[in-house]
Amino acid sequence: MNPPLLAICFYVTHAQVLLSEPRQLRLRKFSNSSGQIQTSRDTMIKSLLFLLLVAVANAKRFQRCEWAHKLKDSGMDGYRNISLADWVCLTKWESGYDTMKTHHNNDGSTDFGIFQINNRWWCNDKIMSFRNGCQINCKDLLSDDVTVAINCAKRVVKDPQGIAAWYGWRSHCQGRDLAPYLDGCGL
């Protein structure tokens, strides 16, 4: 779970206690920077709202055509002879176009971001990183700024496996008609 969402879960759990049992709770009062007296419940609610906004601001789930345009603008159409439709299909099945997606694999490794880049080979999460082929921190793949993720995907396909490095592509895209992934996108 990413840090902002983990913090939100913590605050939601504690906020429920604060809000559901106000008579049994001794509220501590303290002064904020402007000298106003606040209760811990007020502070908890404000903190929860702030953390929720931070989590939402850092996450993006692209729409199919929006993502196709972003990939095209980033030079992915035809990169290493891989079609734009292949990239859109791959990311649909790997992450559902979600920049904050993570997946924990049976081998103990984790996939990160919209391309589901694996920490065993391509990024460093300070837990499991044998190679770090993209020379990046895995958390940089969990951003609505997909520049790092796109550059890393370009690096992945330079290896001999190419786009077949992704299970989602092999299972759902390889050898199939991918025209529907670009239908209605004006590309």
Tokens read off for 27: 């509220």
pLDDT digits (tens, 9 = 90+) for 90-143: 999 999 999 999 999 999 999 999 999 999 999 999 887 678 999 999 999 999
State the total domains in the chain.
2
Whether residue 77 lies in the annotated active site: no
Whether 68 and 41 share a structural domain: no
From the candidates 77, 86, 94, 140, which is the catalytic residue?
Answer: 94
**Residue holding tokens 């529907």?**
180
pLDDT in the model for residue 142: 96
Residues 175 and 93 in one domain: yes
Question: What's the CA gap between 160 and 138, in Å, rounded?
Answer: 22
- Let me know if residue 31 belongs to a domain: yes
**Same domain for 80 and 159?**
yes
DSSP 186: -
Do residue 124 and residue 50 come from a single domain? no
**In the prediction, which pLDDT does 78 show?**
96
Q: Of residues 111, 140, 159, 177, which has the active-site annotation?
A: 111
30-74 residue pLDDT tens: 555 555 555 555 554 555 444 444 444 456 899 999 999 999 999
Give a yes or no: residue 187 inside a domain. no
Query: Which is nearest to 151 in space by CA: 165, 164, 166, 140?
Result: 140
Can 94 be counted among the known catalytic residues? Answer: yes
Q: Are residues 50 and 68 in the same domain?
A: no
Both 118 and 44 in one domain: the answer is no
All residues at 6 or more sequence positions from 153 whose CB lies less than 8 Å from its CB, including other chains: 76, 87, 115, 117
The rounded distance, in Å, linking the Cα atoms of 80 and 153 is: 11
- Domain, as residue range, for 23: 3-58
Q: For the domain that residue 148 is a member of, what is the CATH number?
A: 1.10.530.10
Enclosing H/E stretch for 41: helix 40-58
Instruction: Looking at the structure, tell me whether residues 40 and 83 fall in a common domain.
Output: no
Same domain assignment for residues 69 and 149: yes
Query: How far is it, in rounded angstroms, from Cα 43 to Cα 74?
Result: 43
